[in-house]
Amino acid sequence: MKSVDNKSVLSLLKALGNPIRLDIINCLIPGESCVCRIFEQLELPQNLVSHHLAVLREIGLITARKEGKWVLYSLNRSCFVQLKNLFESFSLAKNKKFKC
């Protein structure tokens, strides 16, 4: 997520709007993990977790590295820093009036 455009922001928000993907993100906060630990922790089928990991990886929210026969997933922390900065810029916008 180098440049901020509406399409990439919407894709990120859509990915984060899924409860399983949010659970996976929470599983990865302490550090990297393999799919076998994630699906056991979430008590979900391995193929479902693998699908959501692929979506998160494709959008850039997580990264994967191979270690022997294992694939270890971790948060792409720079992407989350950019998201934080984006949301902070929303709260600092003074010229735009928006009513919730």
How confident is the prediction along the chain (100 residues), in pLDDT tens digits per residue?
444 567 777 888 888 899 999 999 999 999 999 999 999 999 999 999 999 999 999 999 999 999 999 999 999 998 888 888 888 887 776 656 655 4
In this prediction, residue 19 carries a pLDDT of 96
Give residue 4's Cα distance to chain centre. Answer: 16
Domain residue extents for the chain: 6-88
Closest CA to 11 of 54, 61, 81: 61
In this prediction, residue 36 carries a pLDDT of 94
Q: Which fold has domain 6-88?
A: Arc Repressor Mutant, subunit A (1.10.10)
In this prediction, residue 67 carries a pLDDT of 94
Contact of 70 with 34, CB cutoff 8 Å: yes
For 26, 74, 89, the CA distances from 29, given in Å and listed in that order, are 5, 8, 24
